[in-house]
Amino acid sequence: MVRRKVHLTEEVRYALEEGVPVVALESTIISHGMPWPGNYEAAVAVEEVVRQHGAVPATIALIGGKIRAGLEKEQIEYLARAGRRVEKVSRYNFAHVLARNADGATTVAATMWVASMAGIRVFATGGIGGVHRGWAHTLDISADLEALARTRVAVVSAGAKAILDLPATLEYLETRGVPVIGVGTDTFPAFFSRSSGLKLAMYSEDVAEIAGWVHTHWSLPDTGGVLVANPVPRERALEWAVAQAAIEQALKEADAKDVRGKELTPFLLQRIVELTGGKSLEANIALVKHNAALAARLAGELALCLPDKG
């Protein structure tokens, strides 16, 4: 009943029916994460990476008041050209956008929700949202964390965005029972940088082993998502000190301009691109592709564990 509310492309529909691995992809990164035409080129390239590694991509968005899992290239181009004119959709405003027959680019939280509705078990993104700096005064905590706690989807990301309070983000995930698994690392990746220095209890280089852990987690009652933390490729990574200097400067500017709420993350990421001479954008594109490749492999291993898709 619920799945029929999600409009699938024929490619995605066939894959789900036949047990072919599928990887969900978000659309906020297209409309709000990068400028045209790089956003379109990156989105198409990420879908191709998923296919090259044996899975079917399902980019998720709201278009014309319909929930879509899987987009045609012209729909991706539309989102890319429209940019921030397309509304940024999380769970709190999902129904509002849908009821107005409007277009929406889905965040991590919204993408996980739709993926779960559609029966898609794996989702590749850049970096998740988390607990913002100064959270004790603002209570600014991303809905991504609650989505991870509640939604049975494995999210492959380069950790959490480095603009966040990373120790608090990890504490929140632990409190909500979300396993965080490092891929070839025992420290939490920091988006642009390979390591935050924060230790992880679970880590492995073996994708099949990680899939087994995810499957076991989901075999238990009242469990939600899993965060698979995959460091940015070494050749595109920013040194921790360089990334932190740019972040601190961007945060000061955001505070001076009173940039808050859902506008804060796009503002900070854009300023960091400018302050790093474009290196953070190069890292962002590289890590999304890297995560897409891993997610496709993980989806393939999970398909062996979960032949009935849950």
**How does pLDDT run across 77-102, given as a tens digit for each residue?**
999 999 999 999 999 999 999 999 99
Marked catalytic residue, from 88, 161, 279, 289:
161
pLDDT, one tens digit per residue, over 163-198 is 999 999 999 999 999 999 999 999 999 999 999 999
β-bridge mates for residue 228, sequence order = 156, 181
Q: Which residues contact 101 (CB under 8 A, 6 or more apart)?
A: 64, 65
Note the pLDDT of residue 306: 64
Marked catalytic residue, from 26, 47, 77, 301:
26
Q: Which residues contact 164 (CB under 8 A, 6 or more apart)?
A: 129, 130, 131, 132, 133, 142
The Cα–Cα gap between 176 and 161 comes to 19
- Rounded to 10°, the helix 108-118/143-150 angle is 20
Burial class (CB in 10 A: 0-12, 13-18, 19+), 142: buried
Parallel, antiparallel, or unpaired for β 66-69 and 56-63? antiparallel
The Cα–Cα gap between 142 and 153 comes to 17
Note the pLDDT of residue 264: 84
Note the pLDDT of residue 3: 46
pLDDT, one tens digit per residue, over 268-286 is 889 999 999 999 999 999 9
User: Does residue 67 have a pLDDT over 50?
Assistant: yes
Look up 26 and say whether it is catalytic: yes
Backbone angles phi, psi at 295, to 5 degrees: -60, -40
What is the model's pTM? 0.94
- Residue 307: pLDDT band (50, 70, 90) is low
> CATH assignment of 3-305?
3.40.1790.10
Burial class (CB in 10 A: 0-12, 13-18, 19+), 115: buried
End-to-end, the C-alpha distance of the chain in Å comes to 16
What value does the mean pLDDT take over residues 132-141?
A: 89
The Cα–Cα gap between 237 and 282 comes to 9
Look up 161 and say whether it is catalytic: yes
The Cα–Cα gap between 163 and 49 comes to 27
